[in-house]
Amino acid sequence: MPTIPNCRRSRLLTERYRSIKRILGVEVLTLAASSFVLGQTTDKKAAPSGTAEQELMQVGKQTREAAVSGDLSALDRLHADDFTAVTADGTLITKAEMKAAFKSGDVKYESINNEDEKWRIYGNTAVYTALST
């Protein structure tokens, strides 16, 4: 994002977009995607925890692949409209801001590796944590 000289707001926005580059929010991306999967449950009984976790792991994989390839269509499909991510410095970004960062080239992943992944399922909500590098 270009800056306007001596414009504090512009500098703050530029710093914010730079911080987006350091997103560790893949965990949050996957969490948002999990709500998409769990929201697709039919009138049948909810899947057992193991099956739900396997489905969530698959959605997480799809989300990471979409982020690395810059596939905005897939990311748009995998994230709810009210999606919010947390960057490495604690900044919150919306789905629109994330998409803009990918479109502008401010965010580009070469790879995403997650360690110590954990899924916790509470009814129709899943919480995902991992260490991403």
Q: How many CB atoms lie within 10 A of CB 91?
A: 17
Domain ranges of the chain: 24-132
Work out the end-to-end distance of the chain between its first and last CA atoms, rounded to an integer number of angstroms: 25
pLDDT at 76: 92
Kindly report, residue by residue over 75-89, the tens digit of the pLDDT: 999 888 888 887 778
- Taking the C-alpha atoms of residue 101 and residue 8, their distance in angstroms, rounded to an integer, is 20
pLDDT at 122: 84
- Contact between 78 and 63 under an 8 Å Cβ cutoff? The reply is yes
- Taking the C-alpha atoms of residue 25 and residue 84, their distance in angstroms, rounded to an integer, is 9
For 24-132, CATH gives 3.10.450.50
Q: Of 50-64, 68-82, 100-114, 119-133, which range is least confident?
A: 119-133
pTM as predicted: 0.60
pLDDT at 12: 54
